[in-house]
Amino acid sequence: MVRIAVPSMLAAQAEGRRGFDVEAETVGEALRALPVADLLFNERGALNRHLNVYVDGTDVREHGGLECPLASAHEIRIVAMVSGG
Amino acid sequence: MAVLALVGTTKGLFLLWGDDDRRRWQTEGPLLDGWGVYHAMLDPRDGTVFAATNHRVYGSTVQRSADTGTTWTRSKQLGLPEESGLTLDAVWHIEAGRPDEPQTLYLGAAPGVLLRSDDGGASWEVNRGILDHPTRERWFSGAGGMCCHSIQLDPRDRGRMYVGITAAGVFRSENAGQSWIPINNNVETEFLADPNAQVGQCPHKLLMHPARPDRLWQQNHFGVYLSDDHGDSWVRLDRNGLPSGFGFPIMLDPKDPDSAFVIPEKSPEYHYSSGGQLAVYRTRDSGETWELMSDGLPKQAWAAVLREASAYDAASLYFGTQSGSFFALTDGELWVEAVRHLPPILSVEVTPWSG
């Protein structure tokens, strides 16, 4: 079980929820389980480019991106890049 | 009758509630806080509010509310077919379908696509006639992208409809959207090598007159145009007294097909008020002459009004600026700055309410 923390704009799209507990083996699987998954990925399944995703404080780009295994991870944080305005 | 203005901004949707004479307004919002609301409208068929929303981080979606903005539901993920090689860039304009098709809506989007919903906006399918149009390779983007921003349905003929796409041109369908023909004859394209190009023109806003559906008005990148033959030919009108042919919005008078209203900007290179004064120009004779309507508008202004940021009804005209001011016309002549200091205004629609 991993806890996913989302920014306030995503929480507003999920009835105000800021956190979600998800069973998943990879980061991608966890993110796709969210009720706001359509706001994270484009229609080809690519993660929107102005999003950062951290697993226990580490950028998933450094660990295989969406295929990053969660194993014993505790928390995924979704953060909008400053380049997103 | 009082009026509700749905004002889309770069940072959410505002509902402006105006009284019978359009002098007193109450502001509600921002709803959809943080989203760029390129267009929002209240479906006259059932009162549902629809918003075309875009965000640099979270992408593009359509959101709808059955309780005038208290709660919202997103459409299923929007997208374009993989074989097209295109992905959705932005959603621009929502148009209600015909009265006898209460679940049908149309959505204009970028890059130059039209989508249709037959389930009240829950899901959307791309229109293949536009997506696969044989001239698409000759279309290109304007500064705001290749947006399908105008969708007009002929009320007399359920097969006939129009779209306007930047910078592809205006297209007409006679078979409810199965196929489309370019209708850009006589529309100038100073930026194209071929002055008689079939496509590539840059309509900024296209409106069909509701009482005379064969009459189309167009504010183009290069001029203001009128067609009286459902787009088969166009007459350029802005050389009859307008300070500039460049602008984005256009407004009509539902009672008078010969009247139209434009907000000229200096030129395609300089997107702000012509002459340093925010001004609306009116014609009452189908563009033979134009007259200034500036009472109540700021005298020193370098403002810009975007393509979706104006609206009209039988009682008044309305527009919003990129500097966050919303104006309404009172007594037919005097503009009132109803609200100021909103985020940059992207869109305006109005609907009557009972007050």
Whether the Cβ atoms of residue B263 and residue B279 lie closer than 8 Å to each other? yes
Which residues of chain A lie closer than 8 angstroms to B82, CB-CB? 44
How far is C-alpha A55 from the chain's CA centre? 9
The token pair at A44 is 């080809």
CB contact under 8 A, A40 and B82: no
> How many domains is chain A built from?
1
Q: What percent of chain B has pLDDT over 90?
A: 92
How many angstroms separate the CA atoms of B227 and B286, rounded?
10
Positive or negative, the CA dihedral B120, B108, A8, B345 is negative
pTM strictly above 0.95 = yes
Chain A residue closest in CA terms to B90:
A42
> Helix, strand, coil: what percent of chain A each, to 5?
30, 30, 40
pLDDT of B133 reads: 98
Q: ipTM of the assembly?
A: 0.95
> Which chain B residue has its CA at the smallest distance from A10's CA?
B58
Is residue B143's pLDDT more than 80?
Answer: no
Is the Cβ–Cβ distance between B349 and B38 less than 8 Å? no
Residues B49 and B43: their CA atoms lie apart, in Å, by 6
Give the mutation candidate from B58, B84, B87 for the A interface (greatest A CB count, under 10 A): B58
- Of residues B182 and B140, the one with the higher pLDDT is B182
Report the pLDDT averaged over residues B121-141: 96
Query: Taking the CB of residue B103, how many other CB atoms lie within 10 A of it?
Result: 13
CATH code of the domain covering residue A62: 3.10.20.30
Phi and psi at residue B54, to the nearest 5°: -135, 145
B60 membership: H or E segment, kind and range = strand B59-65
How far is the alpha carbon of A41 from chain B, nearest alpha carbon, in Å? 8
Strands (E), A10-50: 19-22
Compute the C-alpha angle B52/B54/B56, nearest 5°. Answer: 175
CA distances from A29 to A12, A46, B43 (A): 22, 13, 37
Q: Do B58 and A85 touch (CB under 8 A)?
A: no
Q: Which residues of A touch B79 (CB under 8 A)?
A: 42-44
Q: What is the CA radius of gyration of chain B?
A: 19
What pLDDT, on the 0 to 100 scale, is given for residue A84?
Answer: 62
Reduced DSSP (H G I as helix, E B as strand, rest coil) percent helix, strand, coil of chain B, to 5:
5, 45, 50
**Percentage of residues of chain B with pLDDT beyond 70:** 100
**What whole-number distance in Å separates Cα of residue B50 and Cα of residue B78?**
15
Rounded to the nearest integer, the mean pLDDT of chain A is 94
- Between B92 and B269, whose confidence is greater? B92
* Average pLDDT taken over every residue of chain B: 96
Q: Structural domain of residue A28, as residue ranges?
A: 2-84
Q: Using DSSP bridges, classify how beta strands A58-59 and A75-80 pair: parallel, antiparallel or unpaired.
A: unpaired
Is pLDDT larger for residue B349 or for residue B143?
Answer: B349
Identify the CA nearest to B54 among candidates B17, B2, B108, B106.
B108
The pLDDT value recorded for residue B308 is 98
Taking Cα atoms as reference points, which of B80, B207, B183 lies closest to residue B135? B183
Q: Is the pLDDT of residue B142 over 80?
A: no
Name the band, by pLDDT with cuts 50, 70 and 90, for residue B351: very high
Q: How many beta-carbon contacts under 8 Å exist across A and B?
A: 50
Task: Detail the DSSP E strand segments found in chain A.
Answer: 2-5, 19-22, 51-55, 58-59, 75-80
Which chain B residues are Cβ-neighbours of A83 within 8 angstroms? 56
Choose between A85 and B15: higher pLDDT. Answer: B15
Contact B58 A81 (CB under 8 A): no
Higher pLDDT, B247 or B144: B247
Beta carbons of B265 and B271 less than 8 angstroms apart: yes
Indicate the residue of B35, B57, B79 with minimum beta-carbon distance to A43.
Answer: B79
- Backbone φ, ψ for residue B188 (5° rounding): -80, 150
The bridge status of strand A75-80 relative to strand A2-5 is: parallel
B35 contact residues in A (CB cutoff 8 A): 9
DSSP state at residue A69: B
For residues B173 and B180, give the distance between their C-alpha atoms in angstroms, rounded to a whole number. Answer: 5
Model confidence pLDDT, tens digit, residues B188-237: 988 888 888 999 999 999 999 999 999 999 999 999 999 999 999 999 99
CA–CA separation, B107 and B177 (whole Å): 13
**Confidence tier at B317 by pLDDT (50, 70, 90):** very high
Q: Which of B13, B57, B62, B89 to mutate to test the interface with A (most CBs of A within 10 A)?
A: B57
**A4-54 pLDDT per residue, tens:** 999 999 999 999 999 999 999 999 999 999 999 999 999 999 999 999 999
Q: What distance separates the 2 farthest-apart alpha carbons in chain A?
A: 33
Query: How far apart are alpha carbons B50 and B38 in whole angstroms?
Result: 11
For residue A13, the chain B residues in CB contact (below 8 A) are: 74
pLDDT, residue A63, reads: 87
Residue-wise pLDDT tens digits, B232-277: 999 999 999 999 999 999 999 999 999 999 999 999 999 999 989 9
CA atoms within 13 A on the CB side of B76: 11
Find chain A residues with C-beta within 8 A of B56's C-beta.
Answer: 50, 83-85
Query: Please, is B354 exposed, middle or buried when counting C-beta atoms within 10 Å of its C-beta (0-12, 13-18, 19+)?
Result: exposed
The candidate with the shortest Cα–Cα distance to B145, out of B8, B304, B38, B34, is B38
Per-residue burial over B295-314, b if 16 or more Cβ lie within 10 Å, else e, is: eebbeebbbbbbbbbbbbbe
Kind plus residue range of the DSSP H or E element containing B105: strand B105-110
Edge-to-edge strand order for the sheet containing B345-353?
Answer: B25-31, B12-18, B2-9, B345-353
